[in-house]
Amino acid sequence: MAGRQLTKRNVISFLVALAVGVILGTVVQTQLNLWALQAMGVAVGLDARISATGHDLVSFAPLYLLLFGLSFLISQGAAAVVSRFVGRGLRVPLFGLAGASGLWVALVLVNALAPMPTLIAATRTGGGLLAMLLTAAFAGALFARLTARPATGISSHASGTLLAFCLAVGLGALPGPTQAQSLSDYTVETLTSGLEHPWSLAFLPGGGALVTERAGRLRMISEEWELGQAPITGVPPVFNDAQAGLFDVLLSPDFENNQLVFLAYSCGTASANHLCVARGQLQAEALTEVVEIFRAKPAKEGSAHYGGRMAWLPDGTLIVTLGDGFDYREQAQNLSSHLGKIVRLNPDGSVPADNPFVGREGALPEIYSYGHRNVQGLVF
């Protein structure tokens, strides 16, 4: 009976410590992200801070529970084994160190496997990473205190009450599923196949279409929807990795006369890459006279969030969407950076004189709209 009670107390203590760690980690990462915005001059009032924190407790906490929960289970299990060989005075710091170490290992592994450079934005800096690790250390130390013999923590009844409260705050308001429109409302027909990550279509005036493959190929589809055997030549070098690659293809408004094709794509290397736009003249199955007309500044590291969608405005100017680069999200509010913006260009890449930030000190003149995450849908 005593062993069963001890096991029950250990399980309850683990769940309480886990819930506290998840809630603390969620709240801390929210505040770190808000402080990063404030450092750029964005006003964050108390109501916005409370709203963002509550939103993250609903939307981020369940995801963080999966990451932290697994690492916490393994790290605390390892600490329990090691604790048999150390003095009782070292038990609390041992479990705290194990909690922090387990989370650190989990973050390293996830960041290495995920397409985003950093899965949890708050850990992009050394200070942010340390703050998150401290929340895990606190959870580990709490678990050690709750399971100490004799019990120096809270009672089983209090543990259950605290656990219920933590779960209610952190996980109690999950949104319900959203019902999509029924597929029975659509007729689905396969017109062509054999493409690798097709990203965009541009329909040709005489029939058929151009289609981009994210891997860096531009393909021709005939009027009968037959895919050309060979890619169109002349496409500029594309940086292809994870979300990076060849994106939009757009025909000139006067394509029937000038045969000009515009491409948006990622260029550069994994450590220094950009969203680029080039134009060339389509001659049979080749692009000729290809020239880069735009390159986003500054260069960024990683291969996520490029935007890459283009559209023409009625005045003949070109608008291009640019993602925030994921790890650089605050730059969406920075007018000296192209990241997280929509830019407006003349067809030759020059800047229209009536762009909203032309002549403004510290602002890039191409910017048309700012504050975006990763716009990939665009229509005028």
The CATH 2.120.10.30 domain(s) of the chain lie at 198-370
Tokens 């329909």: give the residue.
Answer: 203
Structure tokens belonging to residue 131: 């703050």
- The closest of 196, 206, 372, 157 to 275, measured between CA atoms, is 372
Tell me, which fold does domain 198-370 have in CATH? Neuraminidase (2.120.10)
Instruction: Judge whether 26 and 132 are in contact, CB under 8 Å.
Output: no
Predicted pLDDT at 349: 97
Q: Each residue's pLDDT tens digit in the chain (380 positions)? A: 555 666 788 899 999 999 999 999 999 999 999 998 888 788 899 999 999 999 999 999 999 999 999 999 999 999 999 998 888 889 999 999 999 999 999 999 988 887 667 888 889 889 999 999 999 999 999 999 999 865 444 455 554 554 455 445 444 444 445 556 666 778 889 999 999 999 999 999 989 999 999 999 999 999 999 999 899 999 999 999 989 999 999 999 999 999 999 999 999 999 999 999 999 999 989 999 999 999 999 999 989 999 999 999 999 999 999 999 998 988 999 999 999 999 999 999 999 999 999 999 999 999 999 999 999 999 99
Q: What is the pLDDT of residues 197-218, one digit of tens each?
A: 999 999 999 899 999 999 999 9
Are 378 and 319 spatial neighbours (Cβ–Cβ below 8 Å)? yes
**Burial level of 196, CB count in 10 A (0-12/13-18/19+)?**
exposed
User: Residue 185: what pLDDT?
Assistant: 77
Whether residue 305 lies in the annotated active site: yes
List the beta bridge partners of residue 212. 200, 218
Residues 84, 264: Cα–Cα separation, whole Å: 60
Using CA atoms, how far apart are residues 32 and 38, in angstroms rounded to an integer? 10
Q: Given the residues 55, 197, 305, 338, select the one marked as catalytic.
A: 305
